[in-house]
Amino acid sequence: MRLMLALLAAALWPALAAADVQSLSSLNWTLRNANRSIVIPAKVPSQAHLDLLEAGVITEPLLGINDFTQRWVVNDNWTYTADLTPLIQNPSADARMLLVFYGIDTIANITVAGHPVAWVSNQFQQYVYDVTDFIVAPVQNDTNVTVALESAYLYGLNVTSRPDAEISPTGDFEYAGIRQYIRKTQSDFGWDWGPAFVPSGIFKPAYLVTLTPDTNYAPSCNDTETTPAPASHPLLASGGSVFIEESSLEISKIGQTPFSAPNQTADWLVNVTLGVRSVTGSDFPTLTVAIPELNLSSGSLAVVSIPVGTNTTAFVAANFTIPDGVPERWFPHNLGTPQLYNFTITLALSNASAVSFTTRSGFRTVQLVQTPYSDEEIAVRGITPGDQWHFEVNGRAFYTLGTNIIPFDPFYARMTSAQVRWVLESAVKSGQNMLRVWGGGIYQPSDELTGGYDFYSACDELGIFAWSELIFSDALYPINDWLLASIDPEVRQNVRRINRHPSNAQWAGGNEIEGIVIGINQTLANGTHYLDEFQTLFGEFLHDIVSEEESSVAYTDCSTTSGVLSLDPYEIRYDNKTAGFIYGNGERYNYDASQAFNYSTYPLSRFMNEFGFHSLPSFYSWEEVLESPDDFSFNSTVVASRDHHPPAGSLAFPNPNAPQGQAQMTTAVELWLPTPNTSDSNQTFAQWCWSTQVFQSLNMVSEIAFYRRGAGRGENNLGALVWQLNDIWQGASWSAIEYSGRWKVLQYGMASIFQPVVVYPFWTPENETLEVLVTSDRWDAVNGTAQLTWYDWSGKELNSTVTPFSVPSLNNTVILEAQGLDNILPASKDATDVWLLLNLTAEVGNRTVTHEQYFTPVSLATANLVDPAINVATGPNLTFTLSVQGGVAPFTWLDHPAGTVGFFADNTTGLPLNGFFLVPGIVRTVQFILNPLLSKISDPDPAEFVVRSLWNNTHL
């Protein structure tokens, strides 16, 4: 990541220099610890661990048990220092120099030229300081900029040792009981899917911006010779006499509010807000907004006067309207085209030069519908009474399919746009239309120049919604004036920044806290105190800030919520419920694997925003971090130490609760799949890792199918977000994509069950009932045919039926209902000897879609599998043709070599395909689609690809 940013800075350096914006990445930095026993070269942006790694002081933090052995780094204080001289050569007498930090992690004293500048304590804020007077009058010829970071852990211990400190009565992770007082990525202190490195550093880009008064130029609309071309970013437009500190572009409908349905025929309202610092005042500045592709311009719009000032931010705002039918609308990729436009924004001062930049955005409305269902809908549609809870895009309800994302790496500063984009592209390839940005991580960035990597702009381009959250998670947060004063600018800055992104779907106040505080209120004698604090912070303070900064998306108090009693005024429902009614949204975590496919344990919810089961990463991922051959076993000390579920709740190492998590995965595999056991220990370990993934996928696909079925039932479920998409390291987690970018079985499973039209067998063993449904998330009715074919495990076809179907919009159709195995199974066949292949073909729009699913009437652990004798023939461009000479190969799986990133696609449809049932006489050809930016091997040897199936759990 730091190399990429250095290259980026180098590529932009002429532009940066010309614009009086200079990157601090160009300076020679040093890093030292508190007693100066370590003094090494460093970089910005970076974090202490990364510089220690590059200097050879430590090994890769993710290696082995380094999350334990490198705790000494957390306990030290680290100081970054660089000589500013190269950036401050011969400034003019009237110049002002602004020091700009887009992110400091987290507790730090900043000094310039020996002068104290600021003490900061919020990782999520950007900081700007006029340091001119310090630079021109250095203390003892000091020309350095210094950022002295205090250990966040030690700081937390100090704060919580105060007699007035309120300690949350909830459980916690590794560095327990302190994170509520520190505005820092909450999972830095540990979580049940990742390590606790508690990093520190100047983790985002930083700049020195020099402003010089310019009173000789008066811009006019016709002055095209002297007006510079628009910059590609507000930062790059800065310079001259103006620094654009913040920019907000929000597009909504006239009259739109977060608590009412937007009028879809109303004109569009384009609102631009800029936060600026200027060395030249202007009594009559103007803003102009142009959209070149539409040949539209707002003309000069008068804004409030801009004072001379570089120590505070002046905000100017203007808006104009565009007729509804002029722009094309932005849609998520599976429902339309994610149309984007270039917006050129120009700020002209009445007596100085103009600054102009171009940014991208789109026209869409997105509404989170939370009002009660009407009596008519309840009577006519059979809806269970209660409140709605679903999203509408451009006035139409849609089924939300997606996952949750966590931080991409324990060390933010080394992430690249290429790595993040691969995760986002993987989501799109698997049919997802929404990602929930989990509230225990970080506000995801919009671009590389200020955020280090790009997230939201990629979501805009790829057409995937991002459910955004404020960074509060799984704890009760104390209320005090000091903390609120820090949170206020944090939230405002991030909401303003993200406003321009059509991919942003809503703001949630935090993760899972509403349910926690309801439980505390019901169980603790002083529970009302915590409920009151929650109401103050999430029901009022944060709600009001978000509402003041945007009007185009909803605010909810929490990710998982019971919904609202009222949207205007905003009143959280809490536990004010009527029995039998359905409210809010839901989540499910059930680690009793015997209940994995018991539909009675699945919530009847309007929307499922979290549900998951954990698995191990592949053998290839373990090769990246395990250092001894003895470590390559399911319950080895190192492997188990990287299972943080349930969390330790302390710094105990290895996690004393890991055996519970390991046992849950073990039991799941033993119940539902052949138990891995071969004479080759490495193969056995590889099959164990893979089998946990197979179970995870089976479980999640079952739940997704159930929730999608709910769109046509009383719960009217319109959303399923799996926990979780990405990984933060190589260890046990709920992810669908491993840390390296390798797809797990679940990722392919979602690519199948997230198809627009799917067929699924709902089997209830208690009463031996089989119900086969076709479900569609299309806005129009869908017609097609479904074929159900029974086979035995030798691959012999026993019988087959074809059924035509028609599915209404966002609904499902039953194509088979049967009860009793005697009526379901082929004649004279035992349940352990047969299985059912389900296929459908449907016309969706102007294309034909297909889907395939499988039903086994007994657990695959007891099925009478037959040696499949899989044959693999390699072809050009990494194509592989698979066939069997023996029996059926359930979950036939191809692994790509270490050092490669990509996915397998069906050679005919181009859709992701892996982990399928390979049947005698049915040949499958797949192609490995290599990601050349992330793969260390550009031309992998086909011989290095590995094929496996469940047969290999017990056979070499």
For residue 174, give the nearest of 199, 144, 153 by alpha carbon.
153
Pairing of strands 924-930, 879-884: antiparallel
Closest to 236 measured CA to CA, from 28, 456, 40, 18: 18
* Alpha carbons 156 and 159: distance in angstroms, whole number: 5
C-alpha to C-alpha distance for 785 and 783, rounded to whole angstroms: 7
First to last CA, the chain: 41
3-state secondary structure at position 857: coil
DSSP class of residue 384 equals P
Name beta bridge partners: 13: none
Q: φ, ψ for residue 929 (rounded to 5)?
A: -95, 105
Beta bridge partners of 566: 571
Of 907, 888, 915, residue with least CA distance to 752: 915
Closest CA to 608 of 687, 758, 509, 710: 710
How many whole angstroms separate alpha carbon 242 and alpha carbon 233?
A: 14
Q: How many CB atoms lie within 10 A of CB 526?
A: 10
DSSP annotation string for 77-118? -EEEEEE-GGG-SS--TT-EEEEEES--BS-EEEEETTEEEE
DSSP letter at 400 equals E
Asked if 290 and 248 count as a contact pair (C-beta separation under 8 A), the reply is no
**β 570-572/586-588 pair status:** unpaired
In sequence order, the 6+-apart residues with CB closer than 8 A to the CB of 569 are none
**How many helices and strands, by DSSP H and E, does the chain display?**
21, 45
Q: Is the distance from CB of 851 to CB of 758 less than 8 angstroms?
A: yes
HEC string of 843-876 equals EECCEEEEEEEEECCCCCCCCCCCCCCEEEEEEH
Backbone angles phi, psi at 103, to 5 degrees: 175, 125
Between the alpha carbon of residue 113 and those of residues 98, 121, 136, 232, the distances in Å are 14, 21, 9, 32
Closest by Cα among 155, 37, 41, 164 to 106: 155
Catalytic residue IDs = 512
Give all strands (DSSP E) within 131-183, no chain letters.
144-149
